[in-house]
Amino acid sequence: MSINASELRPARGATHAKKRVGRGNSSGHGTYAGKGLKGQKSRSGKNVRLGFEGGQMPIVRRMHTLRGFNNKWRVEFQPVNLSALERFEAGASVTPESLRAAGILKHLREPVKILARGELTKPLTVSAHAFSAAAKERIEAAGGTVIVAGPTSIEDGDQA
């Protein structure tokens, strides 16, 4: 006995008839069609987006400010790697203004920190607000000098 795919049917009792609502009171789902009385959920096209609280400020928006920690005293530095300083001539004086003019910095609103990624082969006089220890070593090893300009930490900022 062979069975065609077109003759396959679910087992008896495996499927249920679709509930037909709003087809008269004798059906048992007439009048309000199982939606109860009035209100947003009884209307046609009802779909309330996830997290909607009826116009009240949702809990996600009320509580977002309490997540994590925001240090208002944090000093945000603009990082500059040693490899970027390689474009200056030997013996040049490198300042935040000269870095801005060379297109390395986007603006001068934040302090500058020199980091040690890359190599420096020329002696330069580098003036910045902060230096990593390795960057300071490499600048001095190349025959250059390091000048710390302006307040770099919270303590320095309080005294200025």
Range of lowest pLDDT (19-28, 108-117, 130-139): 19-28
Question: Residue holding tokens 């000098």?
Answer: 145
Report the percent of the chain where pLDDT is more than 70.
91
Give the tens place of pLDDT for each residue, 13-36. 999 999 998 999 998 898 998 888
Number of helical (H) and strand (E) elements in the chain, helices listed first: 5, 6
94: helix, coil or strand? strand
Question: Residue holding tokens 């509930």?
Answer: 19
Higher pLDDT, 154 or 100: 100
Give the closest residue to 147 by CA, choosing from 98, 104, 109: 98
- What the chain holds in terms of domains, given with CATH numbers, is 21-68 (no CATH), 78-159 (3.100.10.10)
Give the tens place of pLDDT for each residue, 55-71. 899 888 888 776 778 88
Report the percent of the chain where pLDDT is more than 90.
59
In Å, what is the CA distance from 144 to each residue of 39, 116, 147? 76, 14, 10
Give the closest residue to 136 by CA, choosing from 151, 156, 116, 109: 116
Q: Indicate the pTM of the whole model.
A: 0.55
Query: In the predicted model, what is the mean pLDDT of residues 101-119?
Result: 95
